Structure 1
Amino acid sequence: MARFIFITGGVVSSLGKGLMAASLAALLQARGYSVRIRKFDPYLNVDPGTMSPYQHGEVYVTDDGAETDLDLGHYERFTGVPSRQSDNVTSGRIYQQIIARERRGDYLGATVQVIPHVTDAIKAFARAETDDVDFVLCEIGGTVGDIESLPFIEAIRQLKNEEGRGNAISIHVTLVPYIAAAGELKTKPTQHSVRELAALGVQPDVLVCRCEHPLPPADRAKIALFCNVPASAVIPALDAKSIYAVPMQYHAEGLDSEVLKAFGIEPKGAPDLSRWIEIMDRLTNPQGEVTIGVVGKYVGLQDAYKSLNEALVHGGIANRVKVNVRWIDAELFENDDSDIAGSLEPCDAILVPGAFGERGAEGKIASVKFARERKIPYFGICFGMQMACVEGARDTAGIADASSTEFGATDEPVVGMITEWMGRAGLETRAAEGDLGGTMRLGAYDAKLDGNSVVASIYGGTEISERHRHRYEVNTHYQAALEQGGLVFSGMSPDGTLPEIVERPDHPWFVGVQFHPELKSKPFDPHPLFASFIEAAVKQSRLV
């Protein structure tokens, strides 16, 4: 039977609950336990799929096609356990299901209320598909005291009682601020946060205290006294040089041992942290560095490209080099590309990531052209592949008016909306005027690669599965013209109807992919495309 670890946050948001959950899960794995992590978000959106990246960061997509919170990316990167639809639930999704059941008459005339109907639904999500794991870590989004999170706090209170002593514990992540004028850390915010959580019926078993300075023993004892936990269960969490140093940092502070103690489990020796030691050795002792220019439209918020940034770091780990990312606003080249050389010449490679909408598109097309003409390694992901095809059509295939229907009506739709495709459950269709949420080509799909292609040599095979999130596809009617211009279709859907990968064999490294390889990259298992892309950047840096 699975044991539950409920993780809440207090005082302020952005304390790193997701990283803490991922690090603890990695430590439990290192001790030989199986884990699953899930995220409960209190907002009323059904999922983050229709939210602006500036509102909520990137949308992380699972193999089974769920659009989820970016924390699930941390969970996968730290544990290697693929996330599923059941690992992220929002208030919106819960209420949507409850209201649908009420409309069908499933409640047999009962008054539908937060307790028990909403809390029962939350508990059902927590318990779903957990029979095959030792520990289930449930992170509650938001901050204790938020009105939106009250049903979730009540649900975990009930779950702790129902699961019984030794089968469920609570971890509360709080802030211990440093007051520079006084020259000391203040424990009062943590005391108040724990008091508020306890007033809702949940007594934390472990406290994780984010602080900028080391937490003195006297302050740990004070927090323990007023928050009703052992002093050993007050775990300091200082900033780390890299997120991949966090698991070892938490282990050094005793987090994993304290969690097992709370469950009444006697630790069996030390955890095997060799993979994390190797990762940090490669990060802290690089044998060179490269600069990657990322030309995007959401560069004002790096969380919008969280998985992409981490995948570039993983590529650096694979090649034992430091990766410096130069974030470049595509709109800088939108109407005047005279500054493009000044922005991109210092880069050893150029990457154009996924996006939606026309804003910044011409700047990205100009970046593709610069990379093609200057023989600089180029990686186009999703929208970045589509813009590579538009650029190829205009500049090497002689189709001057080439464009995408995403930008409006066009006589040369090199990129167009896909209205039907073969999904996991058969034929899927979509209308141009339909809902935006959950209607894209989402999740893992297979692709077949040309055996003589660059990408086949990178993958080491001709059959792959990658995660998708897009509404538009490159139009195969233009394949012959594009290939005559040197842009080869080297990867296709198994039925041969949807382009998955394009490449330029006459270029040092020029690859565009319709999927999102960054979603499957991990520090201990870098995605082969990112490892190869950074390797090409290293070669480019030595040519300059």
Structure 2
Amino acid sequence: MTRFIFITGGVVSSLGKGLASAALASLLQTRGFKVRLRKLDPYLNVDPGTMSPYQHGEVYVTDDGAETDLDLGHYERFTGVASRRSDNITTGRLYSNVIARERKGDYLGATIQVIPHVTDAIKEFILSDLTDEDFVLCEIGGTVGDIESLPFLEAIRQLGNELGREGTMFVHLTLLPYIPSAGELKTKPTQHSVKELLSVGIQPDLLLCRSDRDIPSSERRKIALFCNVREEAVIPGLDVDTIYQVPVSYHEQGFDDQVCKHFGLSGAPPADLSRWNKIVDRIRMPEGEVTIAVVGKYTSLLDSYKSLGEALQHGGIANNVKVRLNWIDSQIFESEEAIHELEDVHGILVPGGFGERGVSGKIAAVKFAREHRVPYFGICFGMQMAVIEAARNLAGLSHASSTEFGPCDEPVVGLMTEWLRGNQLVHRAAGDDLGGTMRLGAYGCHLQPGTKVADIYGAAVISERHRHRYEVNIDYKERLEQTGMVFSGMSPDGVLPEIVERPDHPWFIGVQFHPELKSKPFDPHPLFTSFIQAAIRQSRLV
């Protein structure tokens, strides 16, 4: 029997519904249950793919090529369960599907309404593409009271009736603010949030109350009384020093025990938190420290690089060191004096991005890493910048550039119009919808034997996730190889460069894909593990 847990949020946004969902799923896993996580987003965009990182943060990409909410990254990092296209949906996609079905006549001429047609589509999504999962956790984006989330709340209310109490549970995440002038935590926002949820017909079964300090038992009793829940189902969600402490903290507060009690699973095995305790111990008691400069475009909002920041920390966990991240806006390097910002770092990473802004600064960072023999990791756009830097400064192609920035004499990087995905030829054009011009999802890559990446992966063929429109132009491969650059990873058909490296450098690797999307604290990505190892060696030289 599949049981559904619906996680909603109230009072304010950014309370951590995604982390709470991921942490609960990981706890249920440790008790022997099979889990699946899903995110229902109320905004009207079809997906996050064309949204600004400053508004929405990172776009997380799945193996099957879906551009999804960043919370799916939390889901994967905490559970190891690969997310799929069927695990994230938006109001925009729902309405697009409903309207398309109406135009095809699927509704037999009925008047299309939010209830039942949109809510039926939401329920269909929640119940689809499942096999033998014990628990499906569905996070409802936004905050209770937002007009956009009403159809989703109505849909899960209906499912609560249809599947019964034995098949559904409602978890509501709220905030208990501390008022310094009063010297106390205030429960009124939580009471009002639950009242708002009750107004749409949903009685929460468990309250997860975020707070920056301990919640007295008297306050928990008060919340239970006014919100009509059992006192033991009022769970403190206290601030912790690392997100990987969250499963441990929530277990100590009885979160997973209350979930099992709700579903009558008293005989479930106890939670085994040894893996999480080991990870937390390594984070809290490292044996050393390295500093990595991340030279990017969206550094003023770190959610733009959520998976990247976590993957670097995973590399630190694997090597038992603390990774201190120095987030640097690449535009500052357009001034030559600013390059001194990189003098004391132990590694330089240039991440993905779009557009021309900050390009010259990223190229300057690549040049500094190459000339000063500082470990360099270029991801997606960062690989392209490494190739352009080599073409300009080593191959004598002073006008080398990318057609992403406009027409150029030496298009070392350009828009590819077709490529193979398995046995299927995929076409695209510059004028296609933005999401349609990307190479998205998992693609295979053949590694050249004897190269650094072949040694790092310990494999001849790998699969990694992509999200980009432009590719390194294979026509320049020979010229670039003459500069000492090795094309150590290629697409299976040998047309698309996937990885470049410099054997004459301590650690210099650029990849066209996004390895950070597959890294987990208990299974760090090998490239990040190796990069941090190189940074440790560099720290002994500085």
- Residue 139 of structure 1 corresponds to 139
- Residue 503 of structure 1 corresponds to 501
Cα distance, 1:419 vs. partner? 0.8
1-side partners of 2:423 and 2:263: how far apart? 41
Structure 1's unaligned 5+ residue stretches are none
1-side partners of 2:269 and 2:403: how far apart? 60
Cα distance, 1:434 vs. partner? 1.4
1:40-89 Cα distance to aligned partner (Å, 9 max, x none): 00000000000000010000000000000000000000000000000000
Contact 1:62 1:82 in 2 (8 A): yes
Query: Does 1:351 find its partner at 2:349?
Result: yes
1:485-538 Cα distance to aligned partner (Å, 9 max, x none): 011100000010000000000100000000000000000000000000000000
2-side partners of 1:165 and 1:353: how far apart? 46
Q: How does 1:362-381 map to 2 (within 5 A)?
A: 362-381=360-379
Q: Which secondary structure state, in structure 1, belongs to the residue aligned with residue 156 of structure 2?
A: helix
Question: Which AA in structure 2 matches 1:137?
Answer: L
Q: How does 1:244-323 map to 2 (within 5 A)?
A: 244-323=244-323
1-side partners of 2:450 and 2:460: how far apart? 9
1:227-255 Cα distance to aligned partner (Å, 9 max, x none): 11100000001111000000000000000
Cα distance, 1:106 vs. partner? 1.3
Cα distance, 1:462 vs. partner? 1.2
Q: 353, 358, 361: which one pairs with 1:360?
A: 358
- Residue 80 of structure 1 corresponds to 80
1:272-309 Cα distance to aligned partner (Å, 9 max, x none): 11110110111111000000000001000000000000
Cα distance, 1:439 vs. partner? 3.1
Q: Which secondary structure state, in structure 2, belongs to the residue aligned with residue 144 of structure 1?
A: coil
- Residue 170 of structure 2 corresponds to 170
Contact 1:235 1:254 in 2 (8 A): yes
Contact 1:297 1:355 in 2 (8 A): yes
Q: 434, 438, 441: which one pairs with 1:440?
A: 438
Q: Which secondary structure state, in structure 2, belongs to the residue aligned with residue 543 of structure 1?
A: coil
Q: How does 1:148-187 map to 2 (within 5 A)?
A: 148-187=148-187
- Residue 478 of structure 2 corresponds to 480
2-side partners of 1:145 and 1:469: how far apart? 34
2-side partners of 1:538 and 1:62: how far apart? 31
1-side partners of 2:250 and 2:162: how far apart? 29
Following superposition, which runs of at least 4 residues in structure 1 exceed 4 angstroms of deviation?
none
Contact 1:352 1:381 in 2 (8 A): yes
Q: Sequence identity of aligned pairs in percent?
A: 70
Question: Which AA in structure 2 matches 1:14?
Answer: S
Contact 1:3 1:167 in 2 (8 A): yes
- Residue 336 of structure 2 corresponds to 337
- Residue 391 of structure 1 corresponds to 389
Cα distance, 1:423 vs. partner? 2.0
Cα distance, 1:268 vs. partner? 3.0
2-side partners of 1:6 and 1:267: how far apart? 23
Query: Does 1:204 find its partner at 2:210?
Result: no
Q: Which secondary structure state, in structure 1, belongs to the residue aligned with residue 435 of structure 2?
A: coil
Contact 1:449 1:462 in 2 (8 A): yes
2-side partners of 1:11 and 1:425: how far apart? 50
- Residue 512 of structure 1 corresponds to 510
Structure 2's unaligned 5+ residue stretches are none
- Residue 407 of structure 2 corresponds to 409
1-side partners of 2:338 and 2:170: how far apart? 53
Question: Which AA in structure 2 matches 1:536?
Answer: A
Contact 2:32 2:269 in 1 (8 A): no
2-side partners of 1:247 and 1:438: how far apart? 38
Contact 1:312 1:530 in 2 (8 A): yes
1-side partners of 2:285 and 2:442: how far apart? 35
Contact 2:289 2:322 in 1 (8 A): yes
Contact 2:429 2:437 in 1 (8 A): no
1-side partners of 2:132 and 2:342: how far apart? 49
2-side partners of 1:539 and 1:146: how far apart? 51
Question: Which AA in structure 1 matches 2:148?
Answer: E
How many equivalent residue pairs?
Answer: 542
Contact 2:293 2:349 in 1 (8 A): yes
Cα distance, 1:338 vs. partner? 2.1
Cα distance, 1:270 vs. partner? 2.0
2-side partners of 1:376 and 1:246: how far apart? 35
- Residue 29 of structure 2 corresponds to 29
Question: Which AA in structure 2 matches 1:469?
Answer: R
1:103-147 Cα distance to aligned partner (Å, 9 max, x none): 111111100000000000000110112222100000000000000
Q: Which secondary structure state, in structure 1, belongs to the residue aligned with residue 158 of structure 2?
A: helix
TM superposition score normalised by structure 2: 0.99
Cα distance, 1:269 vs. partner? 4.0
TM superposition score normalised by structure 1: 0.99
Q: How does 1:204-223 map to 2 (within 5 A)?
A: 204-223=204-223
- Residue 400 of structure 1 corresponds to 398
Contact 2:379 2:511 in 1 (8 A): yes
- Residue 2 of structure 2 corresponds to 2
2-side partners of 1:286 and 1:131: how far apart? 41
Q: 429, 432, 441: which one pairs with 1:431?
A: 429
- Residue 43 of structure 1 corresponds to 43
Q: 464, 469, 474: which one pairs with 1:471?
A: 469
Contact 1:337 1:363 in 2 (8 A): no
1-side partners of 2:269 and 2:57: how far apart? 39
Contact 2:416 2:471 in 1 (8 A): yes
1-side partners of 2:347 and 2:494: how far apart? 30
